[in-house]
């Protein structure tokens, strides 16, 4: 066994394009399904991780995430893969802006305020959440499910949402509060971390990047 085989793979995937992603609407906790393009993105994500044996899959209770995972599992012929469906890894709650065009919100708020709201760390949305709030609940999942698997050198598939992944990336890479606003994952994008048993990153590799900019 090589040294790398003793390490875990933690695979982060953002769900495929949803119907509201395609329209530029902030989706948040609204349960919106995938487009055909989103299903194809899920298939492509499956292809680029083929060959990695998955021991545990984690997804949210929103169908655009778990349907993406279902497509991946079907493509890779995982019938009995242990799967955790957890509301703690839902997308950010966009509160009163849910269902609104992000470009309309940008027009109403102005570019600076909009960018703070969209990508800032501790900028809450009325009746919704900040990324800091998302981070806290994602860490609950990490400590309960992901880290124990990593300690056992198991490979984990984390198929969730844009801000959920940003929150976990912040933790894994120790990104500062100010620099997290520059981190983004596109729909269908795949990041593979190789991690040692303490949860430290050994390598990071982007395996799939699409060119769709219809983000959350």
Instruction: Identify the CATH number of the domain in which residue 191 sits.
Output: 3.40.50.1240
Distance CA 215, CA 27 (A): 10
> Structurally, how many domains does the chain consist of?
1
Which residues, including other chains, have CB under 8 Å from residue 198's CB and lie 6 or more apart?
Answer: none
3 state DSSP class of 146: helix
Average pLDDT score over residue span 121-150: 97
Please give the backbone phi and psi of residue 68, each rounded to the nearest 5 degrees, phi first: -60, -45
Q: Which residues are annotated as a binding site?
A: 14-21, 27-28, 64, 91-94, 102, 118-119, 162-163
Mean pLDDT over 120-124 rounds to: 95
Neighbouring-strand partners of residue 193:
10, 204
- Please pick, among 15, 67, 145, 161, the residue that the annotation labels catalytic: 15
Residue 117 near residue 109 (C-beta atoms within 8 A): yes
- For 36-90, what is each residue's pLDDT tens digit? 999 999 999 999 999 999 999 999 999 999 999 999 999 999 999 999 999 999 9
Question: Is pLDDT above 60 for 32?
Answer: yes
Catalytic residue at 15?
Answer: yes
Binding site listing for substrate: 14-21, 27-28, 64, 91-94, 102, 118-119, 162-163
Of 216, 131, 124, nearest in space to 169 by CA: 131
Q: Which of 41, 91, 129, 189 is catalytic?
A: 91
Q: Which domain holds residue 139?
A: 4-208
168 in a domain, yes or no?
yes
216 is a domain residue:
no
On whether residue 128 sits in a domain, the answer given is yes
Q: Say if residue 212's pLDDT is above 70.
A: no
Q: What is residue 215's predicted lDDT score, i.e. its pLDDT?
A: 46
């Amino acid at each position: 066994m090589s040294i790398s085989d003793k390490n875990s793979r933690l695979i982060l995937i953002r769900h495929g394009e949803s119907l509201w992603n395609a329209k530029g609407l902030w989706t948040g906790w609204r349960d919106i399904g995938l487009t055909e393009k989103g299903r194809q993105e899920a298939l492509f994500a499956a292809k680029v991780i083929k060959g990695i044996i998955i021991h545990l899959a984690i997804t949210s209770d929103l169908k655009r995430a778990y349907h993406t995972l279902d497509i991946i599992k079907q493509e890779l012929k995982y019938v009995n893969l242990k799967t955790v469906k957890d509301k703690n890894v839902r997308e950010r709650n966009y509160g009163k802006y849910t269902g609104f065009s992000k470009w309309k919100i940008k027009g109403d708020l102005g570019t600076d305020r909009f960018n703070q709201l969209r990508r800032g760390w501790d900028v809450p949305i009325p009746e919704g959440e900040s990324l800091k709030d998302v981070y806290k609940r994602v860490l609950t999942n990490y400590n309960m499910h992901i880290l124990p698997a990593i300690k056992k050198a198991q490979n984990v598939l984390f198929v969730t949402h844009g801000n959920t992944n940003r929150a976990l990336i912040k933790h894994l890479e120790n990104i500062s509060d100010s620099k997290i606003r520059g981190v983004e994952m596109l729909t269908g994008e795949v990041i593979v971390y190789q991690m040692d048993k303490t949860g430290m990153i050994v390598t990071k590799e982007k395996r799939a990047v699409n060119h769709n900019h219809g983000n959350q």
